[in-house]
Amino acid sequence: MKIFAVITGALTALLMVIVFGILLVASDTQAQAYATDGGRGVQGVPQEFREWILKADAACPEPELTPALLASQLYQESKFKTSRAEATSYAGAQGPAQFMPGTWATWGQDADGNGQNSPWDIGDAVTAQGRMMCSLIKTAKSSGYPGDVRGLALAGYNAGWGRVAEYGGVPPKSFAGGETYGYVEAILAGIPRYEGSGQLQVSGNGNGPDAVRRAATRLGTPYSWGGGAPSGPTTGFCDGVNGYLNGSCSASITAGFDCSSLVQYAYWPSTQLPRTAAPQFGATSNRPVARANLQPGDLLFWSHGGAGAIYHVGLYAGDGKVLHAPRTGKNVEVVPLANAMPEGDYFGATRP
Say how far apart CA 113 and CA 238 lie, in whole Å. 44
Range 2-194 has CATH code 1.10.530.10: yes
Same fold, 2-194 and 207-350: no
φ, ψ at 59 (rounded to 5°)? -80, -10
pLDDT computed for residue 337 by the predictor: 92
pLDDT computed for residue 204 by the predictor: 83
pLDDT computed for residue 192 by the predictor: 82
Say how far apart CA 64 and CA 22 lie, in whole Å. 29
Percent of the chain at pLDDT > 70 equals: 87
- For the purposes of burial, counting CB atoms within 10 Å of the CB of 63, is it exposed (0-12), middle (13-18) or buried (19 or more)? exposed
pLDDT computed for residue 58 by the predictor: 85
Where residue 226 falls (left for φ over 0; alpha for ψ -120 to 50; beta otherwise) is left
pLDDT at 227 over 90: yes
pLDDT computed for residue 14 by the predictor: 31
Q: Closest Cα partner for 313 from 205, 239, 228?
A: 228
DSSP 19: -
Q: What is the pLDDT of residues 174-222, one digit of tens each?
A: 999 999 999 999 999 998 888 865 446 787 889 999 999 999 878 878 9
In 145-154, which positions are buried (b, 16+ CB within 10 angstroms) versus exposed (e)? beeebbbbbb
What are the sequence ranges of the domains in the chain? 2-194, 207-350
Say how far apart CA 129 and CA 132 lie, in whole Å. 5
The pTM score is 0.52
Q: For 58, how many CA atoms within 13 A lie in the half-sphere containing its CB?
A: 10
DSSP 26: P
Q: What is the pLDDT of residues 138-175, one digit of tens each?
A: 999 999 999 899 999 999 999 999 999 999 999 999 99
pLDDT at 108 over 60: yes
pLDDT computed for residue 234 by the predictor: 92
The Cα-based distances of 207 to 36, 154, 213, 298 in angstroms read 18, 41, 10, 10
pLDDT computed for residue 16 by the predictor: 30
CATH superfamily of 207-350: endopeptidase domain like (from Nostoc punctiforme) (3.90.1720.10)
Which residues lie closer than 8 Å to 342 by C-beta, 6 or more apart? 302
pLDDT computed for residue 219 by the predictor: 81
Determine which of 39-43, 290-294, 328-332 has the lowest per-residue pLDDT on average.
39-43
pLDDT computed for residue 4 by the predictor: 41
Percent of the chain at pLDDT > 90 equals: 72
Please, what is the end-to-end C-alpha distance for the chain in angstroms? 48
